[in-house]
Structure 1
Amino acid sequence: MKLDKKKTILVGIAFLTISAFWQLYDFVVPLMLRQEFGISDTISGIVMSLDNVLALFLLPFFGALSDRSLSRFGKRMPYIFVGTLFVSVGMFLLPLAAKIKNLPLLVVSLGIVLIFMSVYRSPSVALMPDITIKPLRSEGNAVINLMGAIGGVFTLVGLSLFDPLKVGYYPIFILVAGLMLLGLAIMIVTVKENQWAQQMLDDMRHFNIVEIEDDPNTNSLPKEVKRSLWFILASISFWYMGYNAVTTAFSRYATLQIGLTGREASFVLLFANVGAIVSFIPIGIFSSKFGRKFTIRAGVCLLGLVFLTATFYHQFSPLIYLNFVLAGVAWAAINVNSLPMVLEMADSNEVGKFTGLYYTFSMAAQIVTPIFSGLLFDVFSYRVLFPYATFFVVLSFITMSQVKHGDVVLEKE
């Protein structure tokens, strides 16, 4: 029983391009709204939250819809094909709207990219578990996360070469749209979704891997499995509440509380990304040997410790870099295993639906936590950032203790 890394990398191209897009969107669109259209930070913040709001409804819908889709190209590839093409069209319209300062065209362009990104995001993520047997999904998800990180780095490098404020918006949008279309072309040629999905089912039978059966009385998950599902979904919301609060507010915290410049604050956050990137693959292997739940809880403990100790930085210390490297490692331990644990409770016909559920709870947290934490900042100042994050991480540890399903440990052959 061994992960087919070549197949995993090929299906991971979709997540690579998605991550490249979001890195571009989050960096450039606020800049575009302010510089070209003079839109206030408040309205800009609302616009930037629309993707999370749409995701609450559209990701579960299209995930479940793709579960029921059958074609000679597979369940997920038609959504990836259509979604990528339309997002690419929207990406060519966005810089045009900025150049001619046409607000209605900007609104239409944003609508196209946000809706069609939601069309194929869940199907793209569901593609890896479709072709990977359950015990290997943490390793597979580690590869997928690494692919996503590479996509984000690609865009960051592109932004450093093609600064939108100096050369305009077209070069960076064309670069990222070109990557997305190239990735789509590679997937169309190489990914044999139906064949690979059938091979996965054959492997499940060969290794005698039994899926959880519905309760015949309720035609849904057994009560104890459903309880585990709701507890891990709650855990996902709680750790996103904590981690996302830090990543979104740290630049303000760093400049106002410990006297860093904006550039220095972003450099500190970069260390968290480095910690995660170097950890993805080792954590996937570790999880297969010692279990997903153990790895997640270890990651949650480490993340809580990192945030707790960060509370005591009243001025800059080089040790803060260590804090954020460890935060990246902890986040990788959590992120690599949480989706596979959710999908362990799904049968092979509901992978898209359960992927959508995962995103619903993570996105809901990312909508709520900037608002909730922002209210606390207004009342108590930015000093509450790390205590706030620590609180929600501790909550996630408590709820994870109630999760009794979704784990797997590979036996030595």
Structure 2
Amino acid sequence: MKLNYKRTILIGLAFLSICAFWQFYDNEIPRILKYNFNLGETATGFIMAFDNILALFLLPIFGVLSDKTDSRFGKRTPYIVVGTIVAVTALSVLILVAKPSGNLPFFVVILLVLLIAMGTYRSPAVSLMPELTPAPLRSQGNAIINLMGALGGVFTLVMTMVLLKSAENEADTNYLPLMLSIVILMLLAVAILVATINENKIKKQIEEEGGLHSLGEEIESDMEENKGKGAKLPKDVFKSLVFLLLSVAFWYMAYNAVTTAYTRYVEEVWHLQDGYAGTLLIATVAAVLSYIPIGFISSKVGRKKTILAGVVIMTVCYLVAALMPVYSSSINIFFALIGIGWAAINVNSYPMVVEMSRAGDIGKYTGTYYTFSMAAQVLTPILSGFLLEHVSYRTLFPYAVVFSCLAFCTMMMVKHGDVKPPKKEKILEHFDVDD
């Protein structure tokens, strides 16, 4: 059994469009709030947490709704199409009308509409890969999906460097060219996805190839056989799931704090202007280049060990950044390593969660995964923003170190979801894309 590269890349177009948007959101919305509306760090952090607060409710709800949807277009595609159309419309209004208006309540209302639109289709879009990929291949498939997402982030960072020129007065910065590039990318990516991916047809094909059998289905099958109906996880599996979800929360608290505040950190601490995008681009490119190798490595040493290695790498790099008094070009090396560490985590953590689900509950477990990641991101911009404003900008990277260490400790307690392939008989077989 081998991964269908072409199909997985096309499925990844939905995630590419999502990540292109979120790269813009994380980088530029804090700047708009600061320079156009004169908000402090705590207020900015609170508004930046809106997407995560909404996601706590929207992602599980629409994950479950998409599980139950049965249309001629499939379970996930209708949500992806409608959500994208509403999102690009709201983004256009946000930049063209709400930002220049100078009316903060109006800006926030349009921003909320945009975030709700993004929240309605994120779980369905992410669920599309495991929905259309046999269970043993999901780590490799997730490597491709994350690669596509990273490419979306790279696109926005490159367009930011090329199209976004800071005015003498930051409030006068022209965001129209950058916004148009993101809108076009999102619409084009989803149009190609709809034209090439037929969910219902592919599901039938996968069933012929071996189906979507996973650990969750084995557990449910055993419980139904031994005790009648029942879908609760055994205590040891449930314990692993809880510790895994806690790990997700902790490493997102570390990483999201850095990505959300980094654009302001380099200005306030390292006194850089328009130089931040290049550093973030290095981290993102490093992640792009490492997804496939990490997928291969995790198939050899296991998902858990690969995640732990990624957490250690990121923790060390956060610590180094915390100790740097002034900007040095050597920081680019450590941000490249941060990108590699984050790739090691992302390639493997989501498949470990989905491994404990049934084929019919992929959206539900995807929503659960995002509930924990978003709950962390609700708190971390506010908490880290408070520390930045009332203590020092220097608290940013030590903050990330603390939560990365917590993630390592909880991840050590995870005992399930680490599926390994059978040992290959020939060396050349290790280069096949099968998990």
Which whole-Å CA distance do the structure 2 matches of 1:22 and 1:253 have between them? Answer: 19
Which whole-Å CA distance do the structure 1 matches of 2:393 and 2:107 have between them? Answer: 34
Deviation at 1:359, TM superposition (A): 1.1
CA 265–227 in structure 1, closer or farther in 2 if over 3 Å, else same:
same
Deviation at 1:358, TM superposition (A): 1.1
Kept in 1: contact 2:257–2:384 (CA 8 A): yes
| TM-score, structure 2 normalization | 0.85
Alignment partner of 1:112 is 2:113 = yes
Which whole-Å CA distance do the structure 1 matches of 2:393 and 2:162 have between them? Answer: 34
Aligned partner letter, 2:110: S
| TM-score, structure 1 normalization | 0.89
Which whole-Å CA distance do the structure 2 matches of 1:320 and 1:125 have between them? Answer: 32
The percentage of counterpart residues that share the same residue type is 50
Of 278, 298, 322, which aligns to 1:287? 298
Which whole-Å CA distance do the structure 2 matches of 1:175 and 1:272 have between them? Answer: 22
Secondary structure of the residue that 2:403 maps to in structure 1?
A: helix
Q: CA RMSD in A?
A: 2.8
Deviation at 1:184, TM superposition (A): 2.0
Which whole-Å CA distance do the structure 1 matches of 2:401 and 2:38 have between them? Answer: 37
Secondary structure of the residue that 1:408 maps to in structure 2?
A: coil
Aligned partner letter, 1:90: A
Kept in 2: contact 1:15–1:124 (CA 8 A): yes
Alignment partner of 1:20 is 2:32 = no
CA 96–243 in structure 1, closer or farther in 2 if over 3 Å, else same:
closer
The C-alpha deviation readout for 1:165-199, integer Å capped at 9, x for no partner, is 67844443333222222222212211011121233
Deviation at 1:157, TM superposition (A): 3.0
Task: Map 1:7-86; keep pairs closer than 5 Å.
Answer: 7-33=7-33, 43-86=43-86
Secondary structure of the residue that 2:401 maps to in structure 1?
A: helix
Kept in 2: contact 1:228–1:403 (CA 8 A): yes
- The residue that corresponds to 2:235 in the other structure is 223
Secondary structure of the residue that 2:12 maps to in structure 1?
A: helix
The C-alpha deviation readout for 1:26-69, integer Å capped at 9, x for no partner, is 34444555565666665444332211110111111101111111
CA 220–274 in structure 1, closer or farther in 2 if over 3 Å, else same:
same
Deviation at 1:99, TM superposition (A): 7.2
Deviation at 1:303, TM superposition (A): 1.9
Which whole-Å CA distance do the structure 1 matches of 2:380 and 2:99 have between them? Answer: 34
Give the paired residue count.
Answer: 412
Of 390, 410, 413, which aligns to 1:402? 413
Deviates more, 1:321-330 or 1:35-44: 35-44
Secondary structure of the residue that 1:112 maps to in structure 2?
A: helix
Secondary structure of the residue that 1:211 maps to in structure 2?
A: helix
Which whole-Å CA distance do the structure 1 matches of 2:415 and 2:13 have between them? Answer: 33
Alignment partner of 1:330 is 2:331 = no
CA 97–390 in structure 1, closer or farther in 2 if over 3 Å, else same:
same
Deviation at 1:391, TM superposition (A): 2.2
Kept in 1: contact 2:41–2:388 (CA 8 A): no
The C-alpha deviation readout for 1:327-363, integer Å capped at 9, x for no partner, is 1111110111110111011111111111111111111
Of 233, 240, 244, which aligns to 1:232? 244
- The residue that corresponds to 2:4 in the other structure is 4
Deviation at 1:380, TM superposition (A): 5.4
Kept in 2: contact 1:94–1:110 (CA 8 A): yes
Aligned partner letter, 1:184: V
